[in-house]
Amino acid sequence: MITQTEYKRTRRKHQAQFCYVIFMCALLIGVFAIWLIQVLFFPEGFLASFASNIREVAIGILIISIIGAIGVTVWAVSASLAKMANYKEEAAIYFNAVEHKNHAYVMSKMIQPPSDTEDIIYHVTFDFFDGQRKSFTVDASQYNSLMEKEAGVLVYKQNGTHLFFGDFHPKRQ
């Protein structure tokens, strides 16, 4: 089974390769377009000014590289700012949540497969002895440490409809 860290690393590698391929395709299309324009519209000057053509291609490559670097930088900064804003909002909800400790048992465990925008998500559902049922998103180590139908004390935080898994202390004989 692939771990979440390996999946993230592989996904980042493939995204980087995809961006590289797109950049190289745009570069080659641009160079071919410049060459085609020179041959079709200025055939007599093409061979005579081969050195200037190389200079124009180099300038074109430089301009495309600068535009690409600016685009990647703007994308990275905006993604970081959006992630920080989301984290700040989640942190405020978490720190204002009330901690609860209840006797419960693990009803079920479920793994949500990764999508293009999200990683693997682990869900655990607990049934309380008073009839309530609550589902939590947990990390891989917590998910692997829990066993279905195991009873114990569940520690969690709740702020309105937001639930945060804290810990589970199983009662083992």
pLDDT tens sequence across 15-72: 777 877 787 777 778 777 777 777 777 766 665 556 666 777 777 778 887 887 788 7
For residues 31 and 111, membership in a common domain is answered with no
Least confident of 13-17, 40-44, 106-110, 147-151: 40-44
Residue 91 to residue 67: CA distance in whole angstroms: 36
This prediction has a pTM of 0.51
For residues 22 and 83, membership in a common domain is answered with yes
Find the distance separating the first CA and the last CA of the chain, reported in whole Å: 31
Q: Residue 84: give the domain boundaries.
A: 4-93
- Residue 53: predicted pLDDT: 64
- Residue 1: predicted pLDDT: 43
For residues 72 and 115, membership in a common domain is answered with no
Residue 75 to residue 61: CA distance in whole angstroms: 21
**Partner residues linked to 127 by β-bridges:** 105, 133
Domain end call among 47, 76, 93:
93
Q: Are strands 151-159 and 133-138 parallel, antiparallel or unpaired?
A: unpaired
Which sign, positive or negative, has the C-alpha torsion 13, 14, 17, 19? negative
Structural domains in the chain (count):
2
Of 143, 107, 137, 141, the C-alpha closest to 123 is: 137
